[in-house]
Structure 1
Amino acid sequence: MDPRELRRRIAPNRTLLAAIAVLLGTLAGGACHLLGAPRAGDAIWTVTLLATIVPLAWTVVRALARGDLGVDVIALLAMAGALAGGELLAGSVVAVMLTGGNALEAYADGRARRELTALLRRAPRIAHRRDAAGRWAEVAVDAVVPGDVVLVRTGELVPVDGTLLSERAAIDASAVTGESLPVAQRRGDALRSGTANAGEPFELKATRDAARSSYAALVRLVEQAQAEKPPFTRMADRYAGIFLPVTLALAGAAWAISGEAIRALAVLVVATPCPLILAAPIALVAGLSRASSAGIVMKGGTALERLGATRTVLLDKTGTLTRGRPAVERIVLFDGRAGDGGESGADGPGGRTAAGGGEAGGDGAGELRLLQLAASVDQLSAHVLAEGLVGDARRRGLTLEEATAPREAPGDGIVADVGGHRVGVGGEAWLERQGFTGDGAATVAELGAAPGRALVHVGVDGRLAGVLVMADRLRPDAARLVAALHDAGVGRVAMVTGDRAEVAEAVAEEAGLDRVFAEQSPERKLAIVRAARERPELRPVVMVGDGVNDAPALALADVGIALAGESRTVTSDAADAVITVDRVDRVAAAVRIGRRTMAIARQSVVAGMAMSVAAMVVAALGHLPPVAGALLQEAIDVAVILNALRALRP
């Protein structure tokens, strides 16, 4: 194997390999002593100590040059003193605890590298550009320049920012803006790269090249936000600022008063900050395991530590507080009988029984029959509303019938034959052009005033039979989220969304949020997170989202939490934690786990330090030799570890 390749593979596991090597060296030296070869054992322990001391000394020197005074200083003094004083076993035991603690900390706090692979993978790569002969040619998206005319086919991503040349277009911008319903665009409207064509093919005049498009800017925002996040001081080092001066003062006093350097060494050995080195990492590993069992995967102990101090939680709307997919909210028949569609689960009204087979379009047509006919037709359509409509019908227990002779105008509607009826589903104006007549305008106008709703008209046998009111509903568990976060100690819970203000306000009122930031671009979301982090009373700041447009804010927040649901997205690459189950209330669970874990870690650290100080006093009085002190320290370590493992329990 190539040496460079070998180094590349070993690098991520260097800390673990060092811990294993030191443990094996200590055990081998002890075995030699037991087998009657003390010189060989001492030689092995000496090599083990030197192999640990040399790189540690370099690390300490660099840390001191930066003004950082951490726990490693005590460990270095203890091992160096043990080597100089011939207490090789004591020094080797200290080395085992130091390298083992470092390995545990590297595992607990080793955040997965935040790669932009998924974001780049979703980026448009090809475009259909009109050439000089007027034909469409497939080219790399980087070849498109301002002024080029490109064709965006149904389902394709808009390759570059541009102006719509066709009469109209239906755009699915949910991944970029967070708006869950398709947006109708007209000739001359500006379109953003990265959005999807949810209707018929359209032509676009490029206004920017790919490198300067909005989607490329989104990638750059994620990179900048990640670079902007400051380094985090590990918990052990913060306590070391108190513990180190006490240790050095006591060791110096013991040596000065007794005149015996061995007492100072004993103090340093007992004072080796194993409780500091081990308590926090083990508690964090236990907390990470506990979070994982609840469907919360965290990329390192730093995220858990920050969650334990969370003061502000910012939530995206679409796909986070809401389901992220339109569902039937209400069914209105144009004979004046309107009903509440209710929750689309099995417990909703009529949810466990299929609709009857009465005539559709007349007085005998029921709401469920209308939904059944519409869904039977829409199962042949790829429209985003069709997907939600069909899914809703199936969740209600309706049996869809076979639809034949379909004819669809992408973005407008679809007509097909179902059970002997000619059924049309789509916009009112389009259905009227297909020959469906009727007047439900007054009812439709009234329902259309509700923010965030989409109206899907249904025509049966030449008549407009009714309308399905569709909306992106609040998640059932979202209603309890704000109260749970407040109970967990979070002071401020707000929504940050790219959706329209009236839609956002309606959702915020239903969810009980403290504040709403609506119509926010990725850049403005980033500014909101940055502003909150600059106010000490609001940080640490947690950002929760699931869309591509949330990635920069997730990267900049003290803790970014992504709702991954059934698949991994770019958002999860940019986040510190990923909720793998489809439950937004796990955000509150993550905060509670973080607070409990850090409380246990602090308790372990303080108790371990207290026991170490007591042992240091005994050692300073000459009643605890270095080897016995090292073994006593091991007993303290076991107590600390057992307490830290309580973080595994709920």
Structure 2
Amino acid sequence: EDVAERAGQGVRGTVEGHRVSVGKASWAGRADPAWLERVRGRAAARGAITVFVGVDGRLAAVLLLRDRVRPDAARTFRLLRRAGIGRAVMVTGDRADVAGPIGRLVGADAVHAGLSPAGKVEVARDESARAPTVMVGDGVNDAPALATAGVGVALGARGATASSEAADVVITVDRLERLAETLAIARRTRSVARQSVLAGMGLALAAMVVAALGFLTPAAGALLQEGIDVAAILSALRVLGPGRDRAPRLRGDEAELVRRLDEEHRALWPRIERLPALAGAAAGPAGRRRDAALDALSEFLADLEVHERKDERLLYPAVARALGGSDPTGAMSRGHAEIAELARRIGALTAELRTAPAAPEPADDLRRTVQELYAVLRLHFAQEEENYFVLADVHDQAGP
């Protein structure tokens, strides 16, 4: 989004003697309107924004920029509902055709798109007038709304300083789901404090009644009061315990393992996104382009196999210990088996295609199988990130 914003302001420079301009609409008026509509439609279908690139005064390319949804976003919305949040609203500066599908994916009750910072402030005011409102953000544009809402929460791991200063609460790790955990901790803290205060006051009043009836000497009453105070303090210290609402966490070496595997995930995601293009090239006419696509497929499958083995041998046992139960990772292991079968089929079809380059059957089968692998991998990786990688705080890094 930052790149797109800079592009919209008109970034210009020179590349090998050519004058280059980048802009959201700088060159739109010089291109075929029908072509532009197709490009924008394709971008909307992918949930991306368009950036036009001109070279020497002519439209040369269109960049499609897309942010990945936070892997813990949908999980966070579910946890917030469970914590008692009755209404969830998404506010964003993105276009409605980009923001709408994301809002439906994460389970937002309403989506306000195309908003300026002032627009976000208006939404925060309207929602605050309905009920106590918590606003969460991590950018400079979110700072005014964070200050307006009843409680402003900034994601400070990679958020702007302005948003952190405007917020009432700063979550210092790059995990959106920590918001739900923070609410659970706050409610548990309030509940334990109330219980401790009422228990301490009740015991003190009972002791006073007993003393007033003459059954307690002053010295015994003083000692009893000290005991009541200690009991109230010990009751309040229960808040330091795990609690029923605390999510399981991986720590130490196991957390570091998750971080390493998350880095591998981030490196594999762009290669997964290339699979449809590789499928088309591998099933195309024989030649250098097909050979390069087949080589890229083989290299990707080899790296994927290594990664999946690490997940099965290292990650899943650690996750199973943290989650408990008889077989909490069984469904994901079944996903690994499906991925391995698809990879085996792709390897066999690749070998057949290299042996008989002109045969149409293996080419068509290869295209379909790679598309199947693409769909399975997207779902599998998203499930791992949402369900398993959130068990450890992952170091902040730029996404693909």
Decide which structure has greater helix share: 2
Higher relative contact order (Cα pairs below 8 Å, separated by 6+ residues): 1
Q: Tell which structure's C-alpha radius of gyration is larger.
A: 1
Q: TM-score, normalised by structure 2?
A: 0.50
